[in-house]
Amino acid sequence: MTRMTKAEATRRASYHHLAETLTALEAALNEGLTGGGFIPEEWREVAKVAPEPSRTRVTIRLDEDVVKFFRLMGTNYQGRINQVLRAFMLARLAKVVPGPEDVSYRPSRLDRYHLGVAEFFTQVQLQNQRMAQGRKCKQEELKLRRMLGHLLDEEIALDLTPEERAIPEGMIEEFLG
């Protein structure tokens, strides 16, 4: 049995807390809709609860209609705004809502391999043009061999099938043969 990491435990706990919060919110909204009241009864209870002592005072600019919406619900509208923000935070921590940290800005190893192959082919074409002009450069040839060796190592590391490999066998034999 594998051990659960602290991050995974936190993610799961946040997910379950979010589910409970959303279930309670849904029930409150349904009761408010079916009970004929504008504000669900559970939200009225939230308005009566004193704020937690660990809160921090901040200045934040919100859209006018957002503030009006929450103020219409009665006293402690800031507490309800906090609850909405908490639900969003829990959703992010539970990875239910993706965020910028979920976006990979760095190409994957396979993408880097394909970029390297494209660069290799560009360098081969330049070397062929030089050779057609009668300019043979040993250093460039060694550079291409090193690039090819690196790309072949990447193919092995990525465990690519022969169909997935981007460098034709003939080219490999030509360079290494």
Amino acid at 87: A
Rounded-to-integer distance, Cα 137 and Cα 24, Å:
73
Please give the structure tokens belonging to residue 136: 């043979």
pLDDT digits (tens, 9 = 90+) for 33-91: 455 555 556 555 655 665 566 788 889 999 998 899 888 887 888 888 888 888 877 77
* Contact call for residues 41 and 35 (beta carbons, < 8 A): yes
- Residues counted in the chain: 177
Q: pLDDT digit string (tens) for 93-152?
A: 777 777 777 666 678 888 888 899 999 888 888 888 888 888 877 888 888 888 888 888
Q: Is the pTM of this model over 0.85?
A: no
